Structure formats: C-alpha cells, structure tokens
A and B are shown apart, each in its own frame.
Chain A
Amino acid sequence: MSHPAYHPVLDPAHAPPFPQAVLPVLRNPQLRKNVAHAIDVIQGKRGKLVAEKTDWQELRSAGAAIRTHVLENLGAYLEEFEARCTAAGGTVHWAADGEEARRIILELLREENASEVIKIKTMTSAEIQLNPYLEAAGVRTYETDLAEIILQLGEDEPSHIVVPALHVNRSQVREIFARRMGLKDLSDDPKALTAAARNYLRRKFLEIPTAISGANFLVAETGSVVVVESEGNGRMCLTLPRTMITIAGIEKVLPRFQDLEVMLQVLARSATGERMNPYTSVWTGVTPGDGPQRFHVVLLDNGRSSILGKKTERQTLRCIRCAACMNSCPVYRQTGGHAYGSVYPGPIGASLRCAVPATRFARSRSIFPRCCWNCAPRL
C-alpha cells in the first residue's frame, strides 16, 4: 500500500479525510518529535501560570459570559463598532464570505497602487486563502511574524493557530533561511536565526507602505481594534505603513474596553503561557500624524451568522483562539495540525466543522472534543 507524499493541503474542500491525511504525518519522526516537544513546552508554561491564578475558573466564567452576551447581541455590537470606527476615521466593509472579503481587500490594494503588502499573522486571512489570491493578482505578500516567515519561505502551511510553525525545528529553520535568504554560513543558533529574520524584515517594514492585519478583538464601545503579539512585528506594521487593512471575523467584537481586562488575561495565559503578551496594540480609526492614515476593517461572516440562532452550535463562536484545546489534545500531540485539512485544527477546528459546515472550517468529522475530556470543561 503506498501513501501520499507529505504535502499539507489546508483547503477543507480538497484536503483528504483525517484518517488518510495522518498517515504521512505519523511516518514522519522529525515532525512528531517537533510537535510533541513544542506542545509539552507550551503546556508546561501554561500549567504553571494558570496554577498561580487563584481565580482562574472565575476569569474563564467571566470570559464565557462576555462572549455569550456578545453572540446574543452581535448585530447591535457590530453596528456600534462600525459607527465608532467610522467616526474615528476608519472605513468598515462587510463581507458575506471569503470571496467577497478577498475582492474587497484586492480593490483596496489597487486603490493604493500596492504591488507589495506586509502582513501581521492572521488566521482569518489564512481561512479565506488570501495570500494565494493576492499573489495570483500580482500583489506580493510578506509575512512578518517569525513563524509565518518560516512557513512562507519554506512553502509550508500553518499547523497551529498560535504557533503556526511548531512542527518545524531550528535546524529546519536554518535550512529554509539559508536557502531562501542566501545565507550559506547561517548557524542554527536561535539568536542568529532571529537576526537573519530581522535583517530580512527591516527593509520590508521601511519600504512597503501597506499592511494587512487580523484582530484578536474589536471593541464596540470605542471602535478599536486589538492585536496581541510577541515579536513587535505587529507594532512595526501598525506604525510605519501609510495604510492598514484589518480583516476580522464578525464574532471578534467585545462590548466594552473594560472587557479586555478579562480577555487579555485569559488569552495570554492560555495561549502562550505568559502573564501578559509582550506587545498589545490597540488602535482606533486614524490619528493624524501617528500611524497609518488610511484604515479599513473588513468584517467577515463566512458562515458564522448561520449558527447564531442555534444555542449549542453558536458556542463555537465564543472561541478566542487561545489554542489551549489543541495543546491539550492527545490526538493533536501525535499529528500536529496539517492532517485536519484546515487552518483551524484540533478540537476547536473539529467543533467549527460540525457547527458551521457551510464554512468548511475543518474536514475531520471523526475527531470530537470531549472524547478524552482534556480540552473540554475545566482547562
């Protein structure tokens, strides 16, 4: 019996079913070692930081209550966000699906005469396959998040929603950087690798005046967009370019600025095992003389609104993409994310696939959360 070569396909419409897609992964000892090691490191850090928080379950409950409230009043909060963002000088676009979002973004880039764009890591962009679409339309995309650079230069796909290159180790990063950046003598010392990425990026930051971001949260009360990150590349994209285009799923909105108190604590500890993520950027429309002077937000539905009326299914939209479910999943630990055939792997990916079949978030139907209960009730 022959098995397909290892080549991830993250388009749920064409990806092979999970049990078939795992075969080349399970036969790849390097990948499995990388994934298990990365997962154990993140889980170890998270465990310590969650344990030191005596009100952790209360924080989680508060977060769930906020997110539930948002989903019950989503239309009103989105309209409030649109009004505040517009009043602050931003422009809000509504996209019913991925195709419309891609078209809107390409039109905005054409208005800017942009042939190149720098990007802050955004899974929503990956969800709608934005990069290949823009490249085909003649716009070069440059990822600026270190992991995304590794994937882009290595012609690879994200295998995790927070640390998308966790399946790659540093000697593989060295090989990709050496080959693609023309650095024959590059060592696999993490310092040397980040220095190489920094050199590669600096010129892009200084020369490319158009940026695309995702959003961790949108704040209805103020019309603000929030992005959390670890490397400062997001901060660079939010200060140097002339134009910023943000793409965000419609579920990302929060009612009040104060809600970030809960969300940022829960997200940082669960996602990366940090008390606070190193960079938190909050921007509101346009500020004259400071940061991008043209600002657009594309609000993406892509099937999300179809489950708002369904009490069980809409719970999947409470997700803040911390990835703790995949980090705790014993299946994911063996396979990594590619086999799921979607940019949203692991338990949340499987849940989204079941809840929102129209979006084709993920393909796997045979992996359900609450099989081992690690991801489910009391993370």
Chain B
Amino acid sequence: MHVSLFITCYNDTLFPETGRAVVKLLERLGVELDFHSRQTCCGQMHANTGFRGEAFSQAKRFVQLYQDTEIVVVPSSSCVAMIRDQYPGLFNELGNEELRKQFAALLPRVYELSEFLIDRLKVEDVGAYFPHRVTYHASCHGLRALHLGDRPWRLMDKVRGLEQVPLPNLDRCCGFGGTFSVKNGEVSSAMMAVKLQDIVATGAEFCTALDNSCLMHLGGAMHRQYAGMKTIHLAEILASTEAVPAEALG
C-alpha cells in the first residue's frame, strides 16, 4: 500500500514532531510513504475568512498534486473537513468540469489519520506504548464534520500502559477556530478557559487530539498557567514505543 502524506501547513511549520510521528507510525505498520514537498495549505483559513479565490487556488493545487496518488493521509481533522465540506462548493463556484471530475475521483482516497488506520488498514493495535494518563479532546471538525466517532478511543484502548480519562462536555469547542482566535481573541480565550477547567479537572498528564490547531490553543494556556499538563497529537502517542518514546517526553 502506498500513501502520500498531506502533512498540512500547521504541522509543517509549527509541529514537525507530528509529521515525524506519522511517518514513524505508518512505516512501522508496513506502509510505503511519499511526501510531495510542493504541498502547502488546504486553504481553510482563506475560505473561512472570505477569501474564496485564494482558497480555490489552494484547493486546485491539492487536487493537482495528489490526483495520481493511491491514498492521501492527513493528520488534521479540520483540514480533511475543509477538503470534504468546502472543496465541492469552491469547485462548483470557481472550477471547471475537468477539475471537478479529478476532485470527485480523489476525494474517496483522502483519509484523516484515524480513519485510515481503522477503515483502510483495519488495525486498532498499532503496537504503541505510552504509560500515561491521557484525556482526548474531540475537535469540532473531527466530531461533527468527519464523524470520527469512537475511532480515537479504539486506537487508544490498544496502547499499552495508556490510561484513558474521559473529558466532560466533549462536544464543546476549545475556542480556537482559526482566524476566529485572532479576530475575537477575548471570546476565544473565554471559551478556552472553560475548556481548560474540564481538561485540568481530569487529572490527566496529557491532552490529546487529532488536530494540532486545538492543541496549540490549549497548550499555550497550559504552558502559561504551568498547569502540569501537556498536549500531544494522537499520532505521537501511537508512534511511541518502549524503544523510541514520543518526543514530547524528552
């Protein structure tokens, strides 16, 4: 099986350890990987801020770059939501027939990481070891746009040493929302404060998610509050083994 990684701009520029973890995890599971270095951004922040034309050019680039690949794996639920939910509208509005056809053919081969592991690779036990208390934040897009359901928990269930702590009010947004957090920093902080109370009250050592944008928002607050917790992308937990622990532990 051959997989092309779409590592997303966030992971690429701010959280390279997540990309490295995805490679380590998938190679361990016998997946052949490639990485197109010309990849950029899915265009979500442009689309959500009203820049349809700029978002369209990113969407077009994504389709052109990946149209010949067997499978695309994306370790970011909101970028996958952008591709599934907003690309069709962008292509209908600004694209031509050929582009729409190429996109329609590509779309079923685009997977969020936990979808790829469970639905395509049909694996729950990825051979990971992570001896820590962990609570899972179900990002809005993972929960309501992709309907990831129990996939993350099924994966965590099989991680040796990992103790799951349920997070109350799981459906509640962390307050990040991309450019929302820039334009409405105060409301964004107020939402984060509420979310952080729930997270800290779990007593977990780590808060994980399938989206580094939420984790950046929450992690920034944890760091400044010396909350005694860390954030970590689920890919890093799943990549972690006895021999090579997650970078976050270093």
Q: Interface with B: A225-233, A278-286, A368-376, which one? A: A368-376
B200 to chain A minimum Cβ distance, whole angstroms, is 18
Instruction: Kindly identify, within residues 141 to 183 of chain B, every residue whose CB is under 8 Å from any CB belonging to chain A.
Output: 141, 143-145, 171-173, 175, 177, 180, 183
Asked whether A138 is an interface residue with its Cβ less than 8 Å from the other chain, the reply is: no
Asked whether A19 is an interface residue with its Cβ less than 8 Å from the other chain, the reply is: yes
Asked whether B64 is an interface residue with its Cβ less than 8 Å from the other chain, the reply is: no
Cβ of B48: which chain A residues have Cβ within 8 Å of it? 368, 371
Contacts A334-B194, A366-B180; is A374 near B187 (CB within 8 Å)? no
Asked whether A56 is an interface residue with its Cβ less than 8 Å from the other chain, the reply is: no
A331 to chain B minimum Cβ distance, whole angstroms, is 6
Contact of A374 with B173 in the complex, beta carbons under 8 Å: yes
Instruction: Kindly identify, within residues 113 to 167 of chain B, every residue whose CB is under 8 Å from any CB belonging to chain A.
Output: 140-141, 143-145
Q: Which residue of B lies closest to A377 (CB)?
A: B144
Contact of B180 among A334, A371, A377 (CB under 8 A): A371
Contacts A366-B180, A368-B48, A371-B48; is A335 near B187 (CB within 8 Å)? yes
Asked whether A114 is an interface residue with its Cβ less than 8 Å from the other chain, the reply is: no
Contact of B144 with A18 in the complex, beta carbons under 8 Å: no
A368 to chain B minimum Cβ distance, whole angstroms, is 7
Contacts A371-B48, A374-B171; is A331 near B187 (CB within 8 Å)? yes
Contact of B175 with A366 in the complex, beta carbons under 8 Å: no
What interface size band does chain A fall in?
A: 20 to 34
Contacts A366-B180, A373-B144, A373-B145; is A330 near B186 (CB within 8 Å)? no
Q: Is the interface of B mostly helix, strand, loop or mixed?
A: helix
Q: Which residue of A lies closest to B140 (CB)?
A: A372
Cβ of A376: which chain B residues have Cβ within 8 Å of it? 144
Contact of A334 among B140, B144, B190 (CB under 8 A): B190
B85 to chain A minimum Cβ distance, whole angstroms, is 8
Cβ of B57: which chain A residues have Cβ within 8 Å of it? none
A18 to B171, CA, bound (A): 24
Q: Beyond the given A19-B184, A19-B186, A378-B144, could you list 15 further A-B residue pairs with CB under 8 A, ordered by the A residue number?
A: A19-B183, A331-B184, A331-B191, A334-B191, A366-B180, A366-B184, A367-B180, A367-B184, A371-B140, A372-B173, A372-B177, A373-B141, A373-B143, A373-B144, A374-B171
In the complex, 18 of the A-B residue pairs with CB atoms within 8 angstroms, ordered by the A residue number, are A19-B183, A19-B185, A19-B186, A23-B186, A26-B186, A330-B172, A330-B175, A330-B191, A334-B190, A334-B194, A335-B190, A367-B184, A368-B48, A371-B48, A371-B140, A371-B177, A373-B141, A374-B144
Chain A interface residues (CB < 8 Å from chain B): 18-19, 22-23, 26, 32, 330-331, 334-335, 366-368, 371-374, 376-378
